[in-house]
Amino acid sequence: MTELHESAGTGPGDAHFAVFTDREDAAAVARSFSRPGTRILTYASGRPWLVGQWHDQDIVTARAGHAALAVIGCCPVDAAELERRAGRLADLAELDALARTLPGSLHLIGALDGQLRVQGTASGLRLVFHASVGGSRVAASRADVLAAALGAEPDPEQVAVRLLWPVPHPLAEAPMWQGVTAVPPQEALIVAADGRTVRHSHWWTPPEPVRTLADGASAVREALATAVDTRTRQGGVVSCDLSGGLDSTSICFLADRSPARVVASTWPGRDPADTDLYWAQQAARSLPDVEHVVWDADASPLVYSDLLAIDDLLDEPTIGVMDRSRVLHHLPGMAERGSRLHLTGIGGDHVAWCSEAYYHRLARTRPLFALRQLRGFRALWQWPLGGTVRALADSRPYGTWLADSSRNLRAPLPATVRTSLGWGMPPRLFDWVTPDAERTVRRALREAAENAVPLHPDRGLHADLDQIRSCTRIIRQWDRMAARAGVPMASPFLDDRVIEACLAVRPSERVTPWQYKPLLTAAMSGIVPEGCLRRTNKAAASMDASNGLREHRADLLALWEDSRLEQLGLVDGKALRRLAQRPATPELREAILYSTIAAEVWLRGLSRTTKATATARATATARTGTQNGP
């Protein structure tokens, strides 16, 4: 491949790009995507194929005949293997099979005889968007890049929808700008040789959950070990979260088996009842070659820290801004110790455990077994008998459930048993959302409900996939923030191959009231000491959240003083300012402010960066305009 670039504009783990067809009109459009630090990968014709920012270790490319392939992200495939694949490529549809086998977390891009195929991950951690720019179809890994090329402003309707708590499928997948289209994670984008005709092609389906726990545990062990090895096999220094929970502890022990030197990082909780530090120290005693860094609990930023200072380039609102400072605070310390990558256990809760909603089906197919298990869940989660019976009797299709939700947006938060055994938590709007915004959101929900299809007919698997995607949309933004902070993050539990291995295990054995994360416990037996596998809970960090509300109420008040949401007519600023002055309000313990804060912070950050982006774009356009080609 031929590559042109101006300077190293990004670091490892922060690759982002746009993809173009091999046509003159597309080449003209590609010039407008040039920025300081832009790298350009060209076709044999010399026209731009990929334009963006990436580090050498984040991309592998190959060309053979009329075919070209690129893997961007974290994947152990080498150029020779990719070239062999390209040489045998007769149809872009053949890349479906390749995508279902590659380990790691990556974008896969293929070009053949003028056609394009672009896909991300089934997890949703790596997404694909596309838009018609200057009459040419352009794909990109970020929606804001396409919006900037279109000169589009955020769609107020989409901003209103993001005020929902939570945002249900499929509304959560919609980009924030009109003219930009999202490719669902299980699909790939196909662009025809004319550079305009597009379609989405289904490439991923979740596995049937038929494996026993005994059989599935070995597959999970292998997939997770491969995911960690993919990040650590180059050696050097890597750092790991070591919270003491099963997820991060598993990652630490797997990383310790690699050529890399490992530094483990533990943030103790402020709550005296928090046992994270005890369990982390138990694990560290069995990791003699691992440097264990224990931070001062009181030095950890609280939830809601630094909301006014966030200037990350985000292509959608994310509730991850609430914990941004907490997530990034220790990374400079890890960089000082030489870490090139920080591994987390994030995602373990979403894949090693699963939703109790599977018991809605099991109650019909295995009633005696389900009854015994549900008795245990009722005792564990304090579900009332009547509520449990009503939740199990609710057989509404997903579209009906979504339409019904649109009529109850101001109702109190539902009982836990309804959300646990149903399609998920019904979305809610809160008192400060204006009636106009409510009408907009209700209309969007009704329209979505007309053709809404769940992520899977089994509401348990639907809930699992929905939670995985909700998680990855946050981690996707955190990963970008971490790379910008100097140490990229990786979450091996969220690799597609790990997710598949977990989902393939029977839900009746994956989620049980009698054992905590039995699948992960079985998978890590022999790798993690038995004493560490006996932990049966995790810290909630509720004190950090409640203290954050009190200590940062001045920032929250300032957030609403000149509210962008209020200017759009979506919230009542006075109501939010009153709420900020009463941080002990009981309802705030339920995180009901999160979606509103996320939207406000995103709008502020967008306005802060728009001028800088426009200036860079004008400079780049003026510069490339003096050249004959890229």
Helices (H), 257-366: 276-285, 324-328, 331-336, 348-351, 358-365
CB 149 within 8 A of CB 131: yes
Model confidence pLDDT, tens digit, residues 168-216: 999 999 999 999 999 999 999 999 999 999 999 999 999 999 999 999 9
Q: What is the mean pLDDT of residues 227-241?
A: 97
Domain positions in the chain: 2-158+176-205, 213-346+462-538, 545-609
pLDDT at 627: 39
Of residues 475, 461, 445, 570, the one with CA closest to residue 174: 445
Q: What angle do CA 392, 393, 399 make, to 5 degrees?
A: 95
Model confidence pLDDT, tens digit, residues 553-601: 888 899 999 999 999 999 999 999 998 888 777 777 778 899 999 999 9
Does residue 468 or residue 309 have the better pLDDT?
468
pLDDT at 301: 87
Express as a percent the part of the chain with pLDDT over 70.
Answer: 93
Burial profile 228-255: b = 16 or more Cβ within 10 angstroms, e = fewer: bbbbbeeeebbbbbbbbbbbbbbbbbbb
Of residues 152, 198, 193, the one with CA closest to residue 175: 152
Helices (H), 32-161: 79-88, 95-99, 143-150, 156-161
Of residues 494, 444, 451, 448, the one with CA closest to residue 473: 494
- In this prediction, residue 269 has a pLDDT band, given cuts at 50, 70 and 90, of confident
- In this prediction, residue 626 has a pLDDT band, given cuts at 50, 70 and 90, of very low
DSSP reduced 3-state for 104: coil
Report whether pLDDT(268) > 90. Answer: no
Distance CA 546, CA 544 (A): 6
Report whether pLDDT(621) > 80. Answer: no
CA distances, 415 to each of 297, 381, 382, 384, 388 (Å): 34, 11, 11, 9, 10
- In this prediction, residue 219 has a pLDDT band, given cuts at 50, 70 and 90, of very high
pLDDT at 6: 41
Report whether pLDDT(308) > 70. Answer: yes
The string of DSSP letters for 169-224 reads: TTGGGS-SSTT-EEEPTTEEEEE-TTSS-EEEEE---PPPS-B-HHHHHHHHHHHH
Largest CA distance in the chain: 76
Q: Which of 28-32, 268-272, 294-298, 409-413 has the lowest mean pLDDT?
A: 268-272
Residue 560 phi, psi dihedral angles, 5° rounding: -95, -5
Model confidence pLDDT, tens digit, residues 343-384: 999 999 999 988 999 999 999 999 999 999 999 999 999 999
Model confidence pLDDT, tens digit, residues 127-153: 999 999 999 999 999 999 999 999 999
Q: What is the mean pLDDT of residues 12-39?
A: 91
Burial of 438 (0-12, 13-18, 19+ CB in 10 A): middle
pLDDT at 613: 56
Distance CA 348, CA 333 (A): 25
**H or E segment at 523?**
helix 518-524
pLDDT at 614: 55
pLDDT at 541: 56
pLDDT at 408: 95
Q: Give the torsion sign (CA, 323, 321, 139, 190).
A: positive
Q: For domain 2-158+176-205, give the fold.
A: Glutamine Phosphoribosylpyrophosphate, subunit 1, domain 1 (3.60.20)
Report whether pLDDT(398) > 70. Answer: yes
Of residues 471, 465, 490, 464, the one with CA closest to residue 479: 490
Does residue 270 or residue 575 have the better pLDDT?
575
- End-to-end, the C-alpha distance of the chain in Å comes to 14
Does residue 620 or residue 226 have the better pLDDT?
226
Model confidence pLDDT, tens digit, residues 479-498: 999 999 999 999 999 999 99
Model confidence pLDDT, tens digit, residues 80-119: 999 999 999 999 999 999 999 999 999 999 999 999 999 9
Read off the tokens for 160: 């209103």
CATH of domain 213-346+462-538: 3.40.50.620
DSSP reduced 3-state for 71: strand
pLDDT at 544: 64
Residues across the chain: 630
Q: What is the mean pLDDT of residues 402-421?
A: 95
pLDDT at 616: 53
CB 140 within 8 A of CB 130: yes
pLDDT at 9: 40
Report whether pLDDT(540) > 60. Answer: no
Q: What is the mean pLDDT of residues 450-469?
A: 97
- In this prediction, residue 223 has a pLDDT band, given cuts at 50, 70 and 90, of very high
pLDDT at 7: 37
